[in-house]
A = this chain, B = another copy of it.
Amino acid sequence: MRLNVDVKLDYALSGPSDILLQVGVARTPEQVVTDDHIDVGAGAHFATVPAEEMIGERIWLRRDDALICDYRATVDITRSAPEIGQLEATPVHLLPGDIVKYLMASRYCPSDEFQSFVAAEFGDSAGGARIAALAAWIESHFAYEPGSSNAQTTALDTFVQRRGICRDFAHVLVTLARAAAVPARVASVYSATVTPPDFHAVAQVYLADEWHLVDATGMARADEMAIIGVGRDAADIAFMTTYGAATLRTQSVSVTAVDG
Contact = CB atoms under 8 A, between A and B. Distances in A.
Interface of A: 18, 20, 45-47, 49-52, 58, 60-62, 91-98, 100-101, 104-107, 109-110, 112-117, 120, 141, 143, 150-152, 156-157, 159-163, 181, 231-232, 235-236, 243
Contacts of A162: 116-117, 120
Contacts of A117: 160-162
Contacts of A47: 93-94
Contacts of A156: 156, 160
Given A151-B112, A236-B104, A97 B58 contact: yes
A58 B235 CA distance: 25
B235 A100 contact: no
5 contacts: A58-B100, A60-B92, A106-B235, A113-B161, A117-B162
A93 B235 CA distance: 18
